């Protein structure tokens, strides 16, 4: 008796397989040189020594009856950014800096907060314990004012010490989700299957991995782990990885059983602008498996911005680009050209706001657009039409058009750029 395959027939993946072969061929030509300016994983003793050197400089400066200051690389200037199409946006080795003075009314508070967080990091590393950014904020929420102040200072310290946040023993709670054909073991021994639907399991007992676990948690998707570097034994037979911009679209694809229909595949969402852990996970999956990576975003400037972050990185985190970017990412949809091609009703479109137009103009001026002529053409099409469309606009064609028609056809016939 013959049984129908659970996923698409083998020929469905023919174009995808050719795409993967071309990616592998490009990789075989040679890896990019190590970054001149960037972070590197550091041992606890190295981190402690670096902090001690900083504090020693502060003490020495005070002993000379001078006001100490921190020299921080400027992470908010395009002048400090160079573009490499094999890595993305990188901070230049001799960038402009900002001086956080202890005797300036404008910066004295930030100077004090940097000292405070450096002290907390030192204790964490010394005791081999970890804390989240949220934990640090709530040690003195009135002093810090808001969470973004803590986040920014931690990134400044990471950049100043040239080490990733993980080496500072600081974690962040992940907001991203993952589903599909992927299994892994977390640092504490928790074994996780990201299989879609009712088969998604989190096994708390290591011996239960291959058999029915005695304790299990069933869910539609798995939260992206907070310690990506600690993941091990990652296993997948996925043909592709689909990054979905919005949680609502991600959940709709799960409801439509997309993962199983297109099996084997992996889906990830950062629920909008991706957090560090989601970006680290996508990077890790690419580095380990070299499967095609696609983005599904709204046909608007915000969606394009999010896609660019996954592919080329961001200006503020350019000092860690080599750990975060996946230049192999391709734009699967929603393309501005799809709007006319699919005859999406005009009442499903939304006019670009002034803020949208400014964002679009900003993206068009970025260095990576010059090596993406098809992206430029799509963005210029959006600018000319002065209209944008959300992925949900596809429901005007049919309620399950996205999962039943749009994505399968895009994947089968190579409809990405």
Concerning whether 312 is annotated as a catalytic residue, the answer is no
The residues, any chain, with a CB within 8 Å of residue 178's CB and separated by 6 or more, are 194, 221, 222, 223, 224, 266, 267, 268, 281
Q: 392, 410, 408, 399: which is closest to 247 by C-alpha?
A: 392
The residues, any chain, with a CB within 8 Å of residue 229's CB and separated by 6 or more, are 41, 166, 280
Sheet (strand 177-180) strand order? 222-223, 177-180, 266-269, 241-244, 293-296, 330-333
| 3-state SS class at 268 | strand
The residues, any chain, with a CB within 8 Å of residue 126's CB and separated by 6 or more, are 44, 48
CA distance linking residue 327 with residue 307, whole number of Å: 11
Tokens of 131: 């804390």
**Cα dihedral 83/85/86/89 (nearest 10):** 30
**Cα dihedral 320/324/325/328 (nearest 10):** 150
Given the residues 122, 130, 138, 312, select the one marked as catalytic: 138
How many C-alpha atoms does 399 have within 13 Å on its Cβ side? 2
Tokens of 195: 């299989």
The total number of residues written for the chain in this structure: 417
Cβ atoms of 339 and 327 closer than 8 Å: no
User: What sign does the dihedral 209-215-221-226 (CA atoms) show?
Assistant: negative
Phi and psi at 309, nearest 5°, equal -65, -45
DSSP 224-248: PPS-GGG-EEEE---S-EEEES-HH
How far out from the chain centre does Cα 299 lie? 19
Catalytic site residues?
138
């Amino acid at each position: 008796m013959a049984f129908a395959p659970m996923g698409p027939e083998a020929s469905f993946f023919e174009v995808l397989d050719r795409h993967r072969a071309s990616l592998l061929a490009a990789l075989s030509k040679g890896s990019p040189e190590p970054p001149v300016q960037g972070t590197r994983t550091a041992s606890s003793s190295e981190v402690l020594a670096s902090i001690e050197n900083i504090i020693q400089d502060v003490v020495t400066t005070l002993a000379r009856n001078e006001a100490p200051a921190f020299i921080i690389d400027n992470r908010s200037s395009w002048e400090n950014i160079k573009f490499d199409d094999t890595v993305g946006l990188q901070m230049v080795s001799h960038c402009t800096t900002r001086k956080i003075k202890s005797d300036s009314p404008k910066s004295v508070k930030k100077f004090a907060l940097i000292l405070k967080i450096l002290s907390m990091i030192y204790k964490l590393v010394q005791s081999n314990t970890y804390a989240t950014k949220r934990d640090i904020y709530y040690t003195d929420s009135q002093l810090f004012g808001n969470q973004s102040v803590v986040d920014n200072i931690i990134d400044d310290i990471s950049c100043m010490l040239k080490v990733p946040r993980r080496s500072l023993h600081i974690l962040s709670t992940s907001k991203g989700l993952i589903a599909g054909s992927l299994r892994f073991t977390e640092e504490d021994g928790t074994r996780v299957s990201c299989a879609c639907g009712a088969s998604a399991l989190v096994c708390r007992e290591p011996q239960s991995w291959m058999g029915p676990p005695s304790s299990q948690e069933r869910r539609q998707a798995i939260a992206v782990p907070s310690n990506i570097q600690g993941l091990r034994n990652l296993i997948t037979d996925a043909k592709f990885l689909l990054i979905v911009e919005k949680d609502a679209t991600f959940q709709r694809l799960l409801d439509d059983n997309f993962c199983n229909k297109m099996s084997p595949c992996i889906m990830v969402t950062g629920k909008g602008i991706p957090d560090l852990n989601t970006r680290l996970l996508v990077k890790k999956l690419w580095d380990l498996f070299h499967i095609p990576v696609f983005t599904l975003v709204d046909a608007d400037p915000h969606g394009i911005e999010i896609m660019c972050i996954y592919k080329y990185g961001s200006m503020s985190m350019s000092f860690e680009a080599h750990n975060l970017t996946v230049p192999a990412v391709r734009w699967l949809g929603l393309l501005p050209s799809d709007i006319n091609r699919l005859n999406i009703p005009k009442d499903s479109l939304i006019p670009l706001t002034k803020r949208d137009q400014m964002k679009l103009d900003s993206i068009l001026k970025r260095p990576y657009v010059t090596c993406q002529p098809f992206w430029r053409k799509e963005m210029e099409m959006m600018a000319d039409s002065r209209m944008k469309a959300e992925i949900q606009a596809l429901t005007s064609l049919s309620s399950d058009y996205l999962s039943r028609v749009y994505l399968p056809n895009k994947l089968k016939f190579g409809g990405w750029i």
